[in-house]
């Protein structure tokens, strides 16, 4: 690989002159610039961005650490974050935490070793702020996305409770009283808040308050498949189910298929998290769709603001959601659109004020 010294020798100039030509830091005579550019082309020289960044003690790389990249939800979120950062001239380093606190710590440590300028993190269910203090102790700004904790940093997360309340209310309006909930990984705020929404409607509408109706999906397709398969196999099975993330929706659909139960004829189904291909299912899935682009845009704005020296107090911002009302709830393909409260969806799909 050619070096800047090789270019200087080929052009008959000093290394500093090559640097000025490449970085535009000083006016260089046209004939000298032409010789340098010809040498760069002839030697196929590429600037070492990493070495330059390390010399300046800064990089234009941002770490993105999320759990389970195989989850249908996190792929589009990472893509949205990557797009926002690339538009601003940053390179993205992605790591899969596996939803394991110890692995999360190792992934983040490797990112810090790579001198990332900042970190966007969907945290695991770790105690004590998880890895956030570790990152902040090294002077690296961090913004949490999708999930929030008690850590003292900026956090951009979706509305969780209100959309689930609306889904369960809809099932109750359709006459269902025995409604199951497939719950995510214990210890996550998303799991707790979505279950709070489910339980609030169960209490308010007088639905069957059987603890066995809360099924341990643990945010994974295979766990959801086992839990739903066991709960719906026997007598007195639920007539409806709300699934609280899209990986578990896949497992739920597999379990119902294996049991020979049809959606929505035998079991009405609604879910939190939409799929890009959810309307390809038959029946099409009634689902809450998160504004991933809005979440990514706001998280990147906050992170770059911190990199620029913003010193305001940490903020927690909630990104609104929308409803895709389809047929899996049992309404039929010609069902009118449901009313979607303003508390759940802002008219412009924007970010409401921090609570």
Domains and CATH numbers, the chain: 4-47 (no CATH), 61-157+293-313 (3.40.50.2300), 161-291+320-324 (3.40.50.2300)
Residue percentage of the chain with pLDDT more than 70: 87
Cα distance between residue 50 and residue 234, in whole Å: 60
Average pLDDT of span 324-347:
67
CA neighbor of 329 nearest in space, from 246, 240, 258: 240
Residue 156 has pLDDT above 70, yes or no: yes
**pLDDT classification of 4: cutoffs 50, 70, 90:** confident
Q: What are phi and psi of 2, to 5 degrees?
A: -65, 145
Q: Out of 6-10, 56-60, 118-122, which region has the weakest mean confidence (pLDDT)?
A: 56-60
* φ/ψ (deg, to 5) at 159: -65, 135
Residue range 279-297: average pLDDT?
Answer: 88
CB 152 within 8 A of CB 306: no
Measured CA to CA, the distance from residue 331 to residue 231 in angstroms comes to: 24
The answer to whether 242 and 181 have CB atoms below 8 angstroms apart is yes
Name the 3-class secondary structure at 290. Answer: strand
- Per-residue confidence (pLDDT) for residue 74, from 0 to 100: 83
Tokens at residue 39, please? 């040498």
Spell out the residues 6+ positions from residue 148 whose beta carbon is closer than 8 angstroms to its own: 155, 157, 189, 316
Least confident span in 26-30, 108-112, 334-338: 334-338
> What mean pLDDT value characterizes the chain?
87
Confidence class of residue 3 from pLDDT cuts 50, 70 and 90?
confident
Pair 182, 242: CB distance under 8 Å:
yes
pLDDT at residue 235 in the model: 85
Write down the pLDDT at residue 130: 82
Confidence band, pLDDT 50/70/90 cuts, at residue 44? confident
Distances (CA, A) of 318 to 76, 131, 298: 18, 22, 10
pLDDT tens-digit profile of 171-200?
999 999 999 999 999 989 999 999 999 999
> Given this model, what pLDDT does residue 69 score?
62
| Three-state DSSP state, 150 | coil
Closest of 130, 143, 72, 78 to residue 104, by C-alpha: 130
User: What pLDDT is attached to residue 60?
Assistant: 87
pLDDT interval class at 157 (50, 70, 90): very high
pTM over the 0.75 mark = yes
pLDDT mean over 214-239: 95
**Where does the pLDDT of residue 159 fall: very low under 50, low under 70, confident under 90, or very high at 90 and above?**
very high
**Model pLDDT for residues 59-70, shown as the tens digit of each residue:** 789 999 998 666
- Answer whether residue 117 shows pLDDT above 90: yes
Residue 345 is predicted with a pLDDT of: 45
């Amino acid at each position: 690989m050619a070096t800047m010294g090789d270019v200087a020798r080929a052009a008959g100039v000093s290394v500093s002159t090559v640097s000025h030509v490449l970085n535009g830091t000083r006016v260089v005579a046209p004939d000298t610039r032409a010789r340098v550019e010809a040498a760069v082309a002839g030697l196929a020289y590429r600037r070492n961005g990493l070495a330059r960044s390390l010399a300046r003690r800064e990089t234009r790389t941002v770490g993105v650490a999320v759990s389970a990249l195989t989850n249908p939800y996190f792929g589009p979120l990472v893509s949205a974050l990557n797009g926002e950062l690339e538009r601003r001239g940053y390179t993205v380093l992605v790591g899969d935490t596996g939803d394991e606190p110890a692995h999360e710590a190792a992934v983040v440590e490797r990112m810090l070793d790579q001198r990332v300028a900042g970190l966007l993190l969907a945290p695991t269910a770790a105690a004590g702020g998880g890895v956030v203090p570790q990152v902040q102790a090294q002077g690296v700004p961090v913004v949490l996305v999708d999930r929030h904790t008690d850590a003292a940093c900026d956090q951009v997360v979706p509305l969780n409770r209100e959309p689930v309340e609306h889904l369960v209310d809809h099932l109750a309006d359709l006459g269902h009283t025995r409604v199951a909930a497939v719950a995510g990984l214990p210890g996550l705020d998303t799991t707790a808040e979505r279950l709070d929404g489910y339980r609030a409607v169960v209490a308010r509408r007088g639905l069957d308050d059987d603890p066995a109706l809360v099924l341990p999906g643990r945010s994974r397709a295979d766990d959801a498949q086992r839990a739903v398969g066991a709960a719906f196999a026997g007598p007195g099975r639920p007539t409806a189910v709300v699934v609280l993330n899209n990986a578990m929706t896949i497992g739920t659909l597999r379990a119902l298929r294996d049991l020979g139960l049809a959606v929505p004829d035998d079991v009405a189904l609604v879910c939190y998290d939409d799929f890009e291909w959810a309307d390809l299912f038959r029946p099409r899935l009634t689902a809450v769709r998160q504004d991933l682009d809005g979440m990514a845009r706001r998280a990147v704005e906050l992170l770059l603001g911190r990199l620029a020296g913003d010193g305001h107090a940490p903020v927690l911002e909630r990104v609104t959601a929308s409803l895709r009302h389809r047929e899996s709830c049992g309404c039929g393909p010609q069902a009118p659109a449901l009313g979607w409260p303003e508390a759940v969806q802002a008219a412009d799909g924007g970010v409401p004020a921090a609570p």
